[in-house]
Structure 1
Amino acid sequence: MTRYLAPLLFGLIGAAILVGLGTWQVQRLGEKEGILAEREALIHGAPQPLPRTIAPEEQRYRPVELSGEILPGALRVLVSRKQIGPGYLVVSPFRTDDGRLLLLDRGFTPVDNRDLAPRSGPAQVTGNLHWPDERNASTPQNDIAGNTWFARDIGPMAEELGTEPLLVVARKITPADAAIEPLPVDTSNIPNDHLQYAITWFSLAVVWLGMTAYWIWRRATTRET
């Protein structure tokens, strides 16, 4: 029996490690769900004033209501939507009633609408402040001259349109532009794969124990024959 002690311990220790990893993922799942719930509550909370001093980490997702005017001129950010295809996020300058100039992400328009001039004029906006992080090593450089952007780079966009480096992603614009569909801020793009990871680790623990039991059984039956 002692000859099976080492592989048995090896199997039990390995399974314990895998179960521990799975348990940690379950804990992380609870933490992430709590964070997402708090973020959703913030996104859909009561509107707050526009900040005078910009602090992205503190003000991200802050809900706002704006009254003012959408100004002529729009930047187009090339994106693609599942089951729809390529199109653009339309980012326009917006002047509030108290004279502030900021960026307004009005939403998505299909690529066929590239040459259509989006509506400008007085508007009421409900939305959220956002500082999107969309650029990585493979993101192309923006074609500013051709008005094709590959990320919502707030600094360069603000410089191009002469606004504050402040972006509001619209949830609703009144009156609406029929050619533009608002894509409001939500938590759908925040990964939460901890349940899948937990299932993977627990499954590996079961397989590990099964392989250990099979190996011991094979060794036992081989010695008996």
Structure 2
Amino acid sequence: MRRTLFLLIFGFAGLGALLSLGIWQVQRLAWKQEVLAEIDARISAAPIGLPSQISESEHKYLPVSVSGEMQPGEIHVLVSVKQVGAGYRIIQSFSTEDRIILVDRGFVPTTAKQTDRLTGPMEVTGNLHWPDEIDSYTPEADIDSNIWFARDLPNLAAALGAEPILLIARSQTDPGVTPLPVDTAGIPNDHLQYAITWFGLALVWAAMTGYFLWRNRAPSESDPQ
């Protein structure tokens, strides 16, 4: 009887914990979906002018439209695009009436690395962004070959003589450059997988608990008949 009671307590306690974790992940999934929907709505909103005071906490994903001049000189950030392959993001400085910012014009294949691109007066529409692409494994930029491995805003700004403010273009700025607009595809949302994992473990736990209870109650060959 004590062994059965122990199995019941242990089994239901573990089952309850696993189910609670699964339910929590379902709740987190709903929360994350709301957050992503808000970000999507913010990204696709009508663009406004560039604010005079800009901060990441207040203006991340803000859609803006700027007029000015695309400056000569560009930085190539190595990326890979699905169904296309390797290529480069083209980063250049852009002068407005009162400031110089960075513009991510979009993607070109590796074969177009040295192609001349349009500069001079133009209007660019896109979203402000602060990419988080730097970690301990990120290689240093190959300055001689002009190959960078991440959009490191402070260093990009220093190299191009601009403020560390990045506008990701969603409008075409050159016939040979494909815009890579900001979206939520790169924001992790693994809560459904976590929920399935916890509920799966709960099912296995319940089955094992039932098996041990049955085995505990089943008569052994040495029990008297």
The one-letter code of the counterpart of 2:58 is E
Structural mapping, 1:4-83, within 5 Å = 4-83=4-83
Is the CA contact (8 Å cut-off) linking 1:23 and 1:198 kept in structure 2? yes
Taking the TM superposition and a 5 Å limit, the aligned residue runs for 1:142-221 are: 142-173=141-172, 176-221=173-218
Which residue identity lines up with residue 182 of structure 1 in the other structure? Answer: P
Q: What's 1:104 paired with?
A: 103
CA distance in 2, matches of 1:222, 1:137: 60
Query: Is residue 77–residue 148 contact of structure 1 (8 Å, CA) maintained in 2?
Result: yes
Between the two proteins, the alignment pairs up a number of residues equal to 222
Matched residue, 1:94? 94
Instruction: Give the unaligned 5+ runs of structure 2.
Output: none
- Of stretches 199-208 and 145-154 in structure 1, the one that deviates more from structure 2 is 145-154
Q: How many angstroms apart in 1 are the aligned matches of 2:148 and 2:119?
A: 21
CA distance in 1 between counterparts of 2:126 and 2:109 reads 21
What's the CA shift for 1:210?
A: 0.3
Report the equivalent of 1:123.
122
TM-score (norm 2): 0.93
Match of 1:137 in 2: 136
CA distance in 1, matches of 2:120, 2:219: 85
Is the CA contact 1:74–1:118 (under 8 Å) kept in the aligned structure 2?
no
Matched-pair identity in %:
51
TM-score by length of 1: 0.93
Q: Could you tell me which amino acid in structure 2 is paired with residue 67 of structure 1?
A: S
3-state DSSP of counterpart to 2:104: strand
Shift in Å at residue 160 of structure 1? 1.1
Give the secondary structure class of the aligned counterpart of 2:73: coil
RMSD across aligned positions (CA):
1.5
For residue 109 of structure 1, give the secondary structure of its aligned residue in structure 2.
Answer: strand
Q: CA deviation at 1:2?
A: 4.4
Give how far 1:116 is off. Answer: 1.0
Letter in 1 for 2:93: P
Cα distance per residue 1:95-117 (max 9 Å; x no partner): 22x24211110011111111212
* Matched AA of 2:20: G
Structure 2 distance, partners of 1:139, 1:3, is: 55
CA distance in 1, matches of 2:4, 2:139: 58
Q: Distance in 2 between matches of 1:120 and 1:3?
A: 80
SS in 1 for 2:185: coil
